[in-house]
Amino acid sequence: MPIDETVPLRPMPVGVLMAQPQHFQVVDVKNPFMAGNVGSVDLAAAAEQWNGVRTALASAGLPVSLIGSVPGCEDMVFTANPAICGVNARNERVCVLSKMRHPSRQREVSAHAAWYESNGYRVVTLDDSVERFEGGGDAVWHPGRALLWIGAGPRTSIGAHAAVGRAFDATVVALELATDSFYHLDTCFCAVDERTVLIYPPAFASSAIARIRDGFADVIEVIEMEASALFACNAAACPNRTVVIQDGANQTAAALRTRGFNVVTVETSEFIKSGGSVYCMKAYLY
C-alpha cells in the first residue's frame, strides 16, 4: 500500500548543496568501506568525479550551491550528513543540525549551521537528550510529503526521531538498520518518487521491511554486489523522473528504466572508498 494520502503535501527539492573535495581523503576507518583505503584517494580523480556529479545534478534540474570546504574536515564533501533541511507546516525553511558520532565530522557542523543561517533557514540544534543524529544520511524525505523515513542504528539513535519530526511538523517512520556495514539509511534506501523506492533488504530488520512495503507501492530490491560495491541505493532522485546513480549498477538502472525513469550514470569510485556516493555528496535544498 502507498503512503496514506492524508499525510500533508510538502515541496520537492529546488537545489542541492555540495562541497568541493580539495581536502578529501580516507585518514582512518569510520565504516567498513574505509578498511584498506587509508591514504589511497587519488585527488585528481576525485575532483574529476565530483565535477561529474555536480554537472549531472545541475543538468537534471537541481542547481548546485557550494559551501566552502574546511581544512582538516576530510569528509566534508559528504554534505548530506551534517544537517538536514526542509519546509515545515508554516512554510518556513528549517535546518536541523546533526550530532555526529565521530569527532572529525563534528567539526563540519558549525560551518553548515553558518551556511544555512546565512541562506535563510531557521537552524535547530537538538538538545542534550539526543545522543546521535546524522542528518540527511539517516533522515530521508518521502518525496512530496511531510514524512521522514529515519534510520535507527549505528549513527542515529531512536531518541532523535521525535525531535526531528517536531522540528519539521512531519510524521516520522523509524527503520531499524540491522548491520554495521550499511551504517546510514541512505546506503540501503533511496526514495525515488512517491511510490517507488530502492532498498537492499539484508540491511534492515524485518519490521523495517514491512514498514517500507506499507509506504511504497513499488519496492525495487537491489542485489548485494550493486548495493555494497557500487552503492546503487545511494543514488539521487532529481526532477523530471531522473535518477543519478553510480556507473555499473546495471540491474538497478534497468529496473528504473523499465519503470520510465531517466537514469544518468556517474563515476564515484574515489568516494566509495570512504563509504559514500551520489546521495552522500549532496544535501537537498528547499
Query: 55-61 contacts: CB < 8 A, separation 24 or more?
Result: 56/244, 56/264, 56/266, 56/278, 57/16, 57/18, 57/236, 57/238, 57/244, 57/282, 59/264, 60/238, 60/239, 60/240, 60/242, 60/244, 60/262, 60/264, 61/238, 61/239, 61/240, 61/242
Give me 164's grid cell.
Answer: 526531528
Hey, which residues does 64 pair with through a beta bridge?
16
Q: Over the stretch 18-43, which tens digit does the pLDDT of each residue have?
A: 999 999 999 999 999 999 999 999 99
Question: What whole-number distance in Å separates Cα of residue 174 and Cα of residue 255?
Answer: 26
Round the average pLDDT of the chain to a whole number and report it. Answer: 96
Please write the tens of the pLDDT for every residue from 124-153. Answer: 999 999 999 999 999 999 999 999 999 999
Share of the chain residues as helix, strand and coil, in percent rounded to the nearest 5: 30, 25, 45
What pLDDT, in 10s, does the model give residues 182-237?
999 999 999 999 999 999 999 999 999 999 999 999 999 999 999 999 999 999 99
Domain annotation for the chain: domains and CATH numbers: 15-285 (3.75.10.10)
